Structure 1
Amino acid sequence: MKNKTYLKASLREIIYSKGRFISIVLIILLGTLLYVGIKATGPILNHSASQFVDQQELSNLQIISTGGLTKADEKLAEDISGAEVESGHQLFYADSDKNQVVKLYSYDQRNQQNQLIVKSGHLPKKADEIVLDEKARKEGYRLNQTYKIDQPDQLKRKSFKIVGFVQSPMYISTEERGLSNVGNGNVDFFAYVPESNFSNEIKSVIYVRFSNVDGKETYGKAYEKKMEQNIDKVEKLFADRPQERAAEIKDTAEKELLPRKAEVTENLAKVDAGQKELDQAKAQLEQQAAVMPAGNPQLQQAQAELAAQQKELSSNREKLMDAQQKISDSEKEISELKTPSYSYDQRSDNPGFQEYGDLSDRIAAIANVFPVFFFFIAALITFTTMTRMVEENRREIGTLKALGYSRFEISIKYIIYALSAATIGIVLGSVIGVNTLPRLVFELSSDRYNFPGVKAFYLSRPIIQATIAFLFASLGAAMLVLMRELHEKPSVLLQPKAPKPGKRIFLERITPIWSRMSFNSKVSYRNLFRYKSRMIMAVIGIAGCSALMVAGVGLKDSLGSVGEKQFGPIIDYDAIVTLKDQPDKATVETIFSENKKLVSELPMMNQTIELKQKGQANQKLTMMVPENRQKFKDYLHLKNQGEPFNLSNEGAVITQKLAELFDLKKGDRLKVYDDDQQTFEVKISAITDNYLGNFLYLSKEYYQQVRRKDFIVNSYLLKSKKLTDSEENELSRKLLSTDQVTNTSFVSTQIETQENSMDNLDGIVWIFVVLSGLLAFIVLYNLTNINVSERVRELSTIKVLGFYDREVTSYIFRENFVFTILGILFGYGLGIVLTKFILDQASMETITFPLVIRSGAYLSSGGLTILFSVIVMVATHFRLRRINMIDALKSNE
């Protein structure tokens, strides 16, 4: 009966102190929600994407060759253990009338890989049917329209009927469709036509799926590791194919050329024989003309016939000589034919695929810092609240102890209280966090990706971590104080703790200020320093919440400033034009000179190189070598910690991220691998600021010195006036039409891509800001509630002494205001450190995030904290008006 009554009393404690109980639950809920929810967001996003692409049988690898792929290539691929192999055609088609570039694929309903998702209509059933990318709807295409493709050398027909609009797992981005080597250089959308329409037996691509990666997360480390092994096997298997394919192409070309060559030779022999006969006929006619009178009609007719025959023979000879020259040129081209290159594209090379993975990686990186700090603040406040709660109940504990209750029986009440609050908070936080945050993040970026949605699941590790932390913060805090209190004798516990003695504070020594302060103000400031632990805990709690809000907005500022810091302050050109091998530069430069919006150009040699170091992943980067290093500074501004410098002939310049990854400094020597895996060494003369990509810069003279090779121009940097999208497309189209250019990349496109990439994180950042603000409000309420609960007797005393309600509220408000201002100021400093730490964690191998926190972050953080403090004090004012002074001041019995 005794225990039953005590159990009821324990449950009533929750009802009597429902404000404190709810605040503890909410703090635990918020901490768990953000920690568990954000920790689960990256894995859930990745798993949902992985599930989608596996369901659509997205190929793990695409084998592509510049020389096309034959049955021999397919057979070789089929020899790979556990590989499922399919082949197909793909080509770029430029519609000059509409200024559109389409990537055309062959469709075979027997194929299983890269299954299309029909959004409307149906897949092709007849040879004259075509399906278009869902994105083509924006271009005005509709079902049952006629679509024309004028590609007579590769397709058997020109006109097709649009029977459907589809999505492809190869294009998970709603906008990005990759680059092309025709038209304006950018693919607008893709299309599929039945394979029977392609006239060439040589295929363009081989799709491969590996059984050893089935069930593995496509963005996971296990998948990446296994795919590296698979690609190594494929590369070894295809190691001899480039040379074999080159020989096949030459052999086929020579066989095709041989009959033509024989025919031309034979016809030339016939022409020679005909000329010989004609010469003999001319000689006979001259002999007859010597004995015949001039003007003889028969003689004139014979001479005219011979002249006509001569003209015909000469014409035939000229045509045959032209044909012979063409054959000779073809033979020369065949002899100089370059060995085809084979490339092995993974899923990450598909448009938009890596961007989505980067989004999850950045969320995961931020989740390692921001929620943990949030979590720490929530746990700290929970710990403080539970500690104060037990300390407030000293008299009750003493009474129970005097009545004969055991230590365990007394503890039951606080165990129930702490476990109830922790359980409700952890369960609700986990359920809400896992089921809302991943979905919210996905919805905020869903307009950029073709995924049907996300499927939430629970990760045990963050839930277990949250449970342990909050059980310690709630139950652990209660038990720690109880252990101390229960060791005291009942007589000691029944007596209230002696108030801390007042002390002379530092402010009192500043007489000009202290003498001008009111009595109430003096009391408030003495109380601040009299109860230092209360002040420190309040300042830490407010500073933590303020720092979270600064970091949240600061993250948005910093992530959005990558492009702003890179394009303009560092990269100051507007486009890169990439040339084909052995180009006619004069043709390209003519187009530059004709375009009035182009200001200048700089010839360059750009190459993709690789750095290798034990214990560090191989890094691919761009090596840029300008023809004129003095002019280079007008196109790219080299800076070290903001201080500009120029490219020298004494060594190479590397970007800061590379220096960090490979632990490099000025004066070190660096081994570099080119495309052919040939090595050369460079001395690092300087390290330059950079935020996007990895680069190695060399002067022309230093390049020739270390490589002992000629400098060959293969690209141009362009500076221009502001170009519209249509003007960029037109310039790109003109350059590609020269057949001397492979691609034109505009900086404006890079800026847009970067902004879109960072926009994906806006949603997650705003979630942090909103939840941080909510936590700040609850923390302020909780700390004020504790402050008032601890000082009910003190506040009742000053009310009895004649203080008005407004003065009593001001008595507390002054202290809270000081706590709030100090917390905000400390929070600003802590927010800067926190933001910097998160950015360091979130930075990637090719991206460095600058620390940029604009004034709005400080204003919003400080403003919201002060607003919450005012709201809490208004609520506190009404509570103080209802204090029962008689109950609070009655003596201990």
Structure 2
Amino acid sequence: MKNKTYFKASLREIIYSKGRFIAIVLIILLGTLLYVGIKATGPILNHSASQFVDKQELSNLQIVSTGGLTEEDERLAAKIPNAEVESGHQLFYADSKKNQVAKLYSYDKKNQQNKLIVKSGHLPQKENELVLDEKAKEEGYRLNQTYRIDQPDQLKRKNFKIVGFVQSPIYISTEERGLSNVGNGNVDFFAYLPENNFSSKIKSIIYVRFANVKGKETYGKAYEKAMDKNIEKTEALFTDRPKERAAEIKSAALKKVQPKKAEVADSLAKLETGQKELNQAKVQLEQQAALTSNENPQLEQAKNDLEERQKELNSNREKLLTAQQKLSDSEKEINDVKTPSYSYDQRADNPGFQEYGDLSERIAAIANVFPVFFFFIAALITFTTMTRMVEENRREIGTLKALGYSRYEISIKYIIYAVSAAAAGIILGSVIGTHTLPRLIFELSSDRYNFPGVKAFYLSRPIIQATIAFLFASLGAALLVLLKELHEKPAELLQPKAPKPGQRIFLERITPIWSRMSFNSKVSYRNLFRYKSRMIMAVIGIAGCAALMVAGVGLKDSLSSVGQKQFGPIIDYDAIVTLKDQADNSAVEKLFSKNKKLTANLAVMNQTVELKQKGQANQKLTMMVPEDREVFKQYLHLKNKGAGFTLPNDGAVITQKMAELFNLKKGDSLTVYDDDQQTFKVKIANISDNYLGNFLYLSKEYYQKARGNNFEANSYLLKSKKMTKSEEENLSKKLLSSDQVINTSFMSTQIETQENSMDNLDGIVWIFVVLSGLLAFIVLYNLTNINVSERLRELSTIKVLGFYDREVTSYVFRENFVFTILGILFGYGLGVILTKFILDQASMETITFPLVIRSGSYLLSGGLTILFSVIVMLATHFRLRHINMIDALKSNE
């Protein structure tokens, strides 16, 4: 009966102190919600993407060759272990009238990989039917329209009927469609048409799916490791294939040229025979003319005929010699044909695929810091609240001990209270966090991706971590205080704790200030320093919440500043033009001079190189060698920790991220691998600031010295006046049509892509800010509530002494205001440290995030904290007005 009554009393404690109980539950709920929710977001987003691409049988690897792919390539691909192989055609088609570029793919209903998703209409069923990318609707295309493809050298027909609009798993992005080597340089949409329409037997692409990666998370480490091994085996099988394919191309071309060459040679031989006959006829005619003294009309006519015949022979000889020279030139060109290159593109190379993975990685990186700090603040406040609750019940514990209750029986009440609050908060936080945050974050970025949605699932590790931490914060706090209290005698527990003795504070020693302060202010400041533990705990709680808000908004500022820090302060050119092999540079420069928008250009050599080091993943970076290093500083501003410098004549400059990854310093020697895996060594002369991409800069002279090769420009950096999007497209189109240029990449496009990529994180950042604000509000409310509860007798006393309600509120508010201001100031400093730490964690191999926190971030976090403090004090004011002074002042002393 005794235990039953006490159990009921334990449950009533929750009802009697429901404000405190709800506050504890909310704090634990918020901490768990953010921690579990954000920790689960990355895995849930990645798992949902994996499920989607696996369902659509997206190929794991695409084999592409610049020399096309034959049946021999397909037979070789079929030998790859664990591989399922399909082949197809792909080509770019530029519609000059509409200034559109479409990427055309062959469609075969037998194929199982890269299954299309029909959004409207149906898949091609007849030879004259095709389906378009759903994005093509934006260009005005509709079902049953005729789509014309004027590509007679590649396709058997020109007119097709649009029978459907589709999505392809190759393109998970709703916007990106990749680059092209025709038209304006960018693909606008794709199209699938029946394979029989392609006239060539040479295929363009081989799709490969591997059985040993089925079921693995496409963004996971296990998938990456398995794919690395698969690609190694593929490359090993295709090692000799480029040379073999070059020989096949030469052989096929020579088979066409050599018979014609032999035919021309035969014709020349016959012509020489004809010439000999003509020469004999001329000799005979001259002999007859010598024997005839008089004019003979027949001889004159014969002579004219021979002259006409000679002219005809000369003309034919000239034509045949020209043809022979052309065939010889063709034969020479065939023999000089460059060995085709084979590329092995993974899923990450598909447009938008890596961007989605990077989003998940950044969320995961932020989840390792921000929620943990949030979690720590929530746990700290929970610990404080439970500690104060037990201390408030000293006399009740003393009474129960005097009545004969055991220590365990007395503890049950607080165990029930702590476990109930923790369980409610953890369960609600885990459920809400897992089911809302991943979905909310996906919805905020879903307009950029073609995924149908996300499927939430529970991750055990963060839930277990949250459970352990909050049980320690709530139950642990209660038990720690109980252990201390239960060791005291009932008589001691029945007496209230003696208040801390008053003492002079530092401010009192500054007489000019202290003497001018009001009585109420003096009392408030004495109380502040008298109860130091209360002040420290309040300042820590408020500082933590303010820091979270500073970090939240600071993250947005920093993430959005990547482009601003890179383009302008570092990269100061407007476009990069990539040339074809053996391009005519003078012809390209003439094209530049004809465009009035272009103000300057600089020839450079751009090459992708690789760095390798044991224990570190291989890293690719762009090696840039300018023709003139002095002029180069107008296009690229090299800086080391903000201080500018010129590209040195002796030595290389590497960007900071690569220097950090490979532990490089000035004066170090570095081994670099080129495209053919040939090595050369460079000395690091300096390290340059950089935020996007990785670069290695060498002067022309140092490159020639380090490599022993002559400098050959393959690109141009362009500076221009401000251009519109259409002007950029027109310039790109003209350059591509010159047959000298492969691609034109504009910095404006890169800036736009970067901004869109960072926009994906805006929603996450605002989630952090809102939840941090809520935590700040609850923390302030809880701390104020504890403050009032502990000082109920003191506040009742000053009310009895004649203080008005507003004066009593200001008495408490003054202390809270000081706590708030101190918390905000400390929070600013802590917020900067926290933001920097999160950015370091979120930075990736190709992106370094600068620390940028604008003044608005400080104003927002400080303003919200002050606003919450004011709201809490307004709520506290109404509570203070209704204090029952008689009950509060009752005492058994």
Q: Same fold (TM over 0.5)?
A: yes
Task: Tell me if 1:777 matches 2:772.
Answer: no
Distance 1:766 1:310 in 2: 91
Cα displacement (A) at 1:316: 3.4
Match in the other structure for 2:475: 475
Q: Does 1:443 align with 2:443?
A: yes
Distance in structure 2 (CA, Å) of the matches to 1:586 and 1:253: 30
Please give the secondary structure, in 2, of the residue aligned with 1:175: coil
1:736 maps onto 2:736 in alignment: yes
Alignment correspondent of 2:653: 653
User: What is the match of residue 198 of structure 1?
Assistant: 198
Alignment correspondent of 1:812? 812
Q: Which runs of 5+ in 2 are unaligned?
A: none
How far residue 270 of structure 1 moved from its aligned partner, in angstroms, is 3.3
Number of the residue aligned with 2:838: 838
Is 1:886 the counterpart of 2:881? The answer is: no
In structure 1, what is the equivalent of residue 869 of structure 2? 869
In structure 1, C-alpha distance between the alignment counterparts of 2:572 and 2:225, rounded to whole Å: 38
Aligned to 1:73: 73
1:364-407 C-alpha deviation (Å, 9 max, x unpaired): 00000000000000000001001101111111111111111111
Structure 2 CA distance for aligned equivalents of residues 311 and 76 of structure 1 = 57
Q: CA deviation at 1:488?
A: 1.1
Q: Where does residue 397 of structure 2 map in the other structure?
A: 397
Code of the aligned partner of 1:874: L
Return the alpha-carbon distance in structure 2 between the equivalents of residues 103 and 276 of structure 1: 59
Counterpart position of 2:3: 3
Amino acid at match of 1:859: L
CA distance in 1, matches of 2:599, 2:295: 73
CA displacement at 1:259 relative to structure 2: 2.2
Deviation at 1:305, TM superposition (A): 5.3
Letter in 1 for 2:318: E
Q: What is the DSSP-based 3-state SS (H/G/I as helix, E as strand, rest coil) of the residue aligned with 1:26?
A: helix
Q: Which residue of 2 is the match for residue 175 of structure 1?
A: 175
Q: CA deviation at 1:146?
A: 1.0
Q: Which residue of 2 aligns with 1:601?
A: 601
SS at match of 1:217: coil
Identity of aligned residues (%): 84
- In structure 2, give the amino acid aligned to 1:422: A
Equivalent-residue separation in structure 2 for 1:107 and 1:271 (angstroms) = 53
Answer with 296-305 or 763-772: which moved more: 296-305
Find the counterpart in structure 2 of residue 716 from structure 1: 716
SS of match in other structure, 2:66 = strand
Shift of 1:182: 1.3
Residue 104 of structure 1 aligns to a residue whose secondary structure is strand
Q: SS of 1:164's equivalent?
A: strand
State the SS of the aligned residue for 1:587: helix
Matched residue of 2:654: which SS?
Answer: strand
1:519-563 C-alpha deviation (Å, 9 max, x unpaired): 111111100011111000000000000000000000000000011
**Shift, 1:111, TM fit:** 0.3
- What's the CA shift for 1:700? 1.1
1:666 aligned residue: 666
Structure 1 Cα separation of the partners of residues 561 and 277 of structure 2:
85
Q: What residue is the counterpart of 1:210 in the other structure?
A: 210
Q: 1:868: how far off?
A: 0.3
- Per mean C-alpha deviation after superposition, the further-off stretch among 278-287 and 648-657 is 278-287
Question: Closer, same or farther in 2 for the Cα pair 1:104/1:293, shift >3 Å?
Answer: farther
Inter-CA distance 523–334: structure 2 relative to 1 (3 Å threshold): same
2:91 equivalent to 1:91: yes
Q: 1:807 to 1:571 in 2, by over 3 A?
A: same
* Aligned-partner residue type, residue 71 of structure 2: K
Please give the alpha-carbon distance, in whole angstroms, between the structure 1 residues aligned to 2:318 and 2:130: 46
Is 1:508 aligned with 2:508? yes
Secondary structure, aligned partner of 2:754: helix
**What is the aligned partner in structure 2 of residue 825 from structure 1?**
825
Cα distance, 1:764 vs structure 2: 0.5
Residue 48 of structure 2 corresponds to 48
Q: Give the drift of 1:443.
A: 0.7
Query: 1:58-137, aligned counterparts within 5 Å?
Result: 58-137=58-137
Q: The residue matched to 1:849 in structure 2 has which SS?
A: coil
TM-superposed deviation, 1:303 = 5.7
Q: Deviations over 1:258-304 (max 9, x none)?
A: 22222222333333334444444555556666788999776676566
Cα offset, 1:702, TM superposition: 1.3
What is residue 463 of structure 2 aligned with on the other side?
Answer: 463
CA distance in structure 2 between the aligned counterparts of 1:716 and 1:520, rounded to whole angstroms: 74
CA distance in 1, matches of 2:551, 2:75: 56
Find the residue that maps to 1:716 and give its secondary structure. Answer: strand
User: 1:163 matched to which residue of 2?
Assistant: 163
Q: Which residue of 2 aligns with 1:725?
A: 725
1:699: how far off? 1.0
1:742 is paired with a residue whose SS is strand
> Aligned residue for 2:356?
356
Matched, 1:33 2:52: no
SS, match of residue 671 in structure 2: strand
Residue range with higher mean Cα deviation, 288-297 or 140-149: 288-297
Q: Deviations over 1:52-83 (max 9, x none)?
A: 11111010001111111111111111111211
Once the two structures are TM-superposed, the CA of residue 832 in structure 1 deviates from its matched residue by 0.3
Change (3 A) 1:596 1:464: same
Matched, 1:228 2:232: no
Give the number of equivalent residue pairs.
893
- 2:849 is paired with a residue whose SS is coil
The residue identity in structure 1 corresponding to 2:553 is V
Q: Tell me whether 1:270 sits opposite 2:261 in the alignment.
A: no
Q: Per-residue deviation at 1:308?
A: 5.1
Letter in 2 for 1:377: I
Counterparts in 2 of 1:294 and 1:529: CA distance versus 1, 3 Å: farther
CA distance in structure 1 between the aligned counterparts of 2:718 and 2:271, rounded to whole angstroms: 55
SS of alignment partner, residue 340 of structure 1: coil
Pairing of 1:433-832 with structure 2 (within 5 A) = 433-832=433-832
Per mean C-alpha deviation after superposition, the further-off stretch among 307-316 and 52-61 is 307-316
Give the SS at the match of 1:654: strand
Mean Cα deviation higher: 700-709 or 213-222: 700-709
1:412 CA displacement: 1.1
Residues 436 and 295 (structure 1), Cα distance of their counterparts in 2 relative to 1, 3 Å cut: farther
Distance 1:163 1:390, change over 3 A: same
Q: Out of 680-689 and 312-321, give the one that drifted further.
A: 312-321
Mapped to 1, the partners of 2:363 and 2:300 lie a distance apart of 97
Which letter maps to 1:29? L
Give the alignment's Cα RMSD to 1 decimal: 1.5
Provide the C-alpha distance between the structure 2 equivalents of 1:399 and 1:306, rounded to a whole number of angstroms.
Answer: 143
Q: What secondary structure does 1:602 align onto?
A: strand
Q: For residues 590-629 of structure 1, what are the alpha-carbon distances to aligned partners after superposition, in whole Å with 9 as ceiling and x for unaligned? A: 0111111111111111111111111111111111111111
Tell me, in whole angstroms, the C-alpha distance in 2 between the residues paired with 1:876 and 1:287: 137
Q: Distance in 2 between matches of 1:289 and 1:407?
A: 149
Task: Work out the CA distance in 1 between the residues paired with 2:168 and 2:299.
Answer: 79
Residues 8-19 of structure 1 correspond to what in structure 2 (within 5 A)?
8-19=8-19
SS at match of 1:415: helix
Q: Which one-letter code corresponds to 2:328 in the other structure?
A: S
Task: Output the CA distance in 1 between the equivalents of 2:474 and 2:856.
Answer: 36
Amino acid aligned to 1:784: T
C-alpha distance in 2 between matches for 1:380 and 1:120: 55
Letter in 2 for 1:484: K
